Amino acid sequence: MAKQVKSTWFCSNCGNESSKWVGRCPGCGEWNTMVEERAVTGKSKSSTFDLGHDNVPMPISGIVTATETRIHMPSEELNRVLGGGLVAGSIVLIGGEPGIGKSTLVLQNILSIRGKRILYVSGEESAAQLKMRADRIGRLSDNCFIVCDTSLESIMRHVDKLKPEILVVDSIQTIASDAIESSSGSVSQVRECAAQLLRYAKSSGSPVILIGHINKEGSIAGPKVLEHIVDAVLQFDGDRHYMYRILRSIKNRFGSTSELGIYEMVQRGLREVSNPSELLLSQSDDAELSGVSIGVTLEGIRPFLIETQALVSTAAYGTPQRSVTGFDAKRMNMLLAVLEKRVGFKLAQKDVFLNIAGGLKVNDPALDLSVICSILSSNVDMAVPRDVCMSGEVGLSGEIRPVTRVEQRILEAEKLGFSTILIPRNNIKGFDTSRLKIKIAEVAKVEEAFRTLFA
């Protein structure tokens, strides 16, 4: 049957196909997401993946399960996020901003794996650039093979010849199939290339690592079906002007999505941060300064202590400024309204600047108590004791609400040598505190927390 070329409209958000342009996608309901592409008709569409045998329906009670075979990665932080290692036959997508360190993270891990044949497919960098990066990392390997290609058919020929035990594709948006007459990075190309690589991973049992671009909103670029195809989606983020990077799990079919890994960007690549609390707290021996408090936050299921800095001064130009770094600006305005209405501090005509030390972005509501304490400390110019930390969510009526995993927060504070921790009242029911060396101060209202700190 002769091939015919026609124009087809695809939704860039969900991949829904339409024969004509529509303003609103009928699949996901998003507006102005339909893009035109040239599609080839007259050829059969391939299935998602083929395991090489006939599948027959069978009762769920008769399915035999086996232990997942995992490849232990050299980075313990990466193993934690993956759920214990790279599962054989899985396909993992790693996304992040340009220059954040995605390729460096993958390259320094695969160069440290011994005894396994690895194929690294680069569609963005030359082999000489990858060699320079490997020299900078200080790791060279004879079992890691590099090929620079963007044709899917050519890549699969290299795969059939080399038969790698791990395949890395950098990046999926640069790969294009000759069977589709559209440019690389388009909806149809990304979907078809990901489906072909998934078919290879499931049939061969070799894991595939994909590196992907993100859009200006911070989500994975391309159709949403790309995230549905893969087994795990990891987000590598952080501020390029700071040295810390956080690896989060957005989707993981073989592990928890609550884990995260923390790295520090150094000259020789990425260094694992096993105890982030010690790095995020200043070790200055100077006199105590106002406007600084220590909060116990939780990223996933991993607690660590972080320094909250605030500066409150009289508005010099009439209109008060509100500047926030690393925290939700709307939430800070809500906390300022609570201090104004419920506690009686007049902050409407004052500039308020808030900064989370280390360049991290924190969304844990348990940091509310640390934020308002640092703001009040700067306002009254009284320092919060450096051996005191706190954790609690602040409500609109000025009450301090309970937080999750308070036991882990207390144990982390005790491990770092803090003498007192402020927590919400009745938040530790059933938790034995007799063996703890740290003093636990339970507070129910914001005023009570202030009296405990500045009595």
**Is the pLDDT score of 258 beyond 90?**
no
Of the candidates 56, 426, 81, the residue with the CA atom closest to the CA atom of residue 248 = 81
In Å, what is the CA distance from 163 to each residue of 151, 230, 424? 18, 21, 57
What confidence score (pLDDT) does residue 49 get? Answer: 43
The most distant pair of C-alpha atoms in the chain lies apart, rounded to whole Å, by 86
Contact 147, 187 (CB under 8 A): no
Strands 420-424 and 388-390, how do they pair?
parallel
In Å, what is the CA distance from 238 to each residue of 97, 261, 362, 425? 9, 12, 11, 34
Residues 305-320 have pLDDT tens digits of 999 999 999 887 778 8
- In this structure, of 68-72, 199-203, 420-424, the range with the lowest mean pLDDT score is 68-72
Name the residue type at position 325: T
Q: What is the DSSP letter of 357?
A: G
Mean of pLDDT values over 88-108: 92
Residues 221-234 have pLDDT tens digits of 777 788 989 999 99
The single residue listed with the structure tokens 């220590």 is 294
CA–CA gap between residue 413 and residue 171 (Å, rounded): 41
In Å, what is the CA distance from 95 to each residue of 110, 323, 336? 17, 29, 36
| Cβ burial, residue 245 (10 Å; 0-12/13-18/19+) | buried
What confidence score (pLDDT) does residue 18 get? Answer: 83
Q: Which residues face 393 on adjacent strands?
A: 401
CATH number for the domain whose boundaries are 70-274: 3.40.50.300
Mean of pLDDT values over 349-371: 91
Of the candidates 355, 350, 349, the residue with the CA atom closest to the CA atom of residue 370 = 355
In terms of CATH architecture, what is 279-454?
Answer: 2-Layer Sandwich (3.30)
| pLDDT above 70 as % of the chain | 93
Tell me whether residue 99 is annotated as binding. yes
Higher local confidence (pLDDT), 372 or 34: 372
Mean of pLDDT values over 35-46: 56
- In this structure, of 25-29, 167-171, 363-367, the range with the lowest mean pLDDT score is 25-29
**Whole-prediction pTM:** 0.76
Instruction: Tally Cβ neighbours within 10 Å of residue 251.
Output: 15
Q: Is the peptide bond before 419 cis (omega within 30 degrees of 0)?
A: no
DSSP output for 26-54 = TTT--BS-EEEEEEEESSPPPPS---SS-
In Å, what is the CA distance from 329 to each residue of 293, 363, 437? 18, 11, 36
Alpha-carbon torsion (5, 10, 16, 18), positive or negative: negative
Confidence of residue 6 (pLDDT cuts 50, 70, 90): low
What confidence score (pLDDT) does residue 95 get? Answer: 92
Please state whether 395 falls in left (phi above 0), alpha (psi between -120 and 50) or beta: beta
Alpha-carbon torsion (402, 405, 408, 413), positive or negative: negative
**Is the pLDDT score of 359 beyond 50?**
yes
| Cβ burial, residue 151 (10 Å; 0-12/13-18/19+) | middle
Confidence of residue 3 (pLDDT cuts 50, 70, 90): low
Confidence of residue 106 (pLDDT cuts 50, 70, 90): very high
CA–CA gap between residue 431 and residue 244 (Å, rounded): 34
What confidence score (pLDDT) does residue 306 get? Answer: 92
Tell me whether residue 97 is annotated as binding. yes
Instruction: Tally Cβ neighbours within 10 Å of residue 117.
Output: 14
Residues 416-439 have pLDDT tens digits of 889 999 999 989 888 888 888 999
Tell me whether residue 96 is annotated as binding. yes
Q: Taking the domains of the chain in order of start, what are their residue ranges?
A: 4-41, 70-274, 279-454
Q: Which residues face 248 on adjacent strands?
A: 235, 260
What confidence score (pLDDT) does residue 48 get? Answer: 42
Confidence of residue 5 (pLDDT cuts 50, 70, 90): low
Residues 282-295 have pLDDT tens digits of 765 556 789 999 99
CA–CA gap between residue 74 and residue 301 (Å, rounded): 22
Here the tokens at position 64 are 């035999």
Tell me whether residue 102 is annotated as binding. yes
